[in-house]
Amino acid sequence: MATTLAQSLSGRTVAFRPTTSQPKARGGRVITRAAFTLPPLPYEKTALEPKISKDTLDIHHGKHHQTYITNLNGQIENNSSLQGKSLEEVMLASWNNGSPTPEFNNAAQSWNHEFYWESMTPTKQEVSGDLKADIESTFGSVDNFLKEFSTAGATQFGSGWAWLVVDNGKLAVVKTPNAENPITSGKKPILVMDVWEHAYYLDVQNRRPEYIKTFVSELINWEKVAERYAAAK
């Protein structure tokens, strides 16, 4: 049974409901088992080469992202309060008002990675339209935004994420550590860059600034970002 897509709070249609196995009676109770599945990449694994290699995507998507999904399913199987929820709903519920329960890291990392894959495109794009105008109004220029966004990624100590968000109707750059996601504080993400080392180590070793430069200059899917921006506003 395939997962169904549902419009998320951030405006993207990736917050899917888990599939479920056949209910099983156990001591008179009906047990529903979550079955989130790894979403396919929106492009072939070779499509981002040489900027991001197939080897990186094989491990990053096929191993790391899959592990978050697998672990989350195991956790939800033993937590009836999270069963039947969308991925975003699980993430928000397990954030638990800033006191995360064990499910949060796997739920948030699953969400963050799907958003990240969709934030990239094999074909270089330029920002345009209302989004470009808002970026120029907020940051002074597109170049200034890219510098601030790059700095957020470069200065995130250890593992984490750099985001462009809509916060109370205004654009802002934020960074989050580990699995944390701006949705938990009411912001609406429209772009993300993964700065966990596994996102780039096979390609550029520990040279995070080199990966960031490539991401901001050649990989951003501005069409998708504009779509999210329109939904968030």
Percent of the residues in the chain that have a pLDDT greater than 70, as a whole number? 85
Residue pLDDT, tens place only, 8-64 = 444 443 434 455 444 444 444 444 454 899 999 999 999 999 999 999 999 999 999
pLDDT in tens, 95-122: 999 999 999 999 999 999 999 999 999 9
pLDDT of residue 35: 85
123-152: average pLDDT:
98
Predicted confidence (pLDDT) at residue 3 exceeds the cutoff of 60: no
Res 205 pLDDT > 70: yes
Confidence category of residue 5, pLDDT binned at 50, 70, 90 = very low
Write the DSSP string, the chain. ---B----TTS-TT-PBPEEPPPEEETTEEE--EE--PPPPSS-TTTTTTTS-HHHHHHIIIIIIHHHHHHHHHHHHT-GGGTT--HHHHHHHHHGGGS--TTHHHHHHHHHHHHHHHTB-SS-----HHHHHHHHHHHSSHHHHHHHHHHHHHHS-SSEEEEEEEETTEEEEEEEETT--GGGGT-EEEEEEE-SGGGTHHHHTT-HHHHHHHIIIIIB-HHHHHHHHHHH-
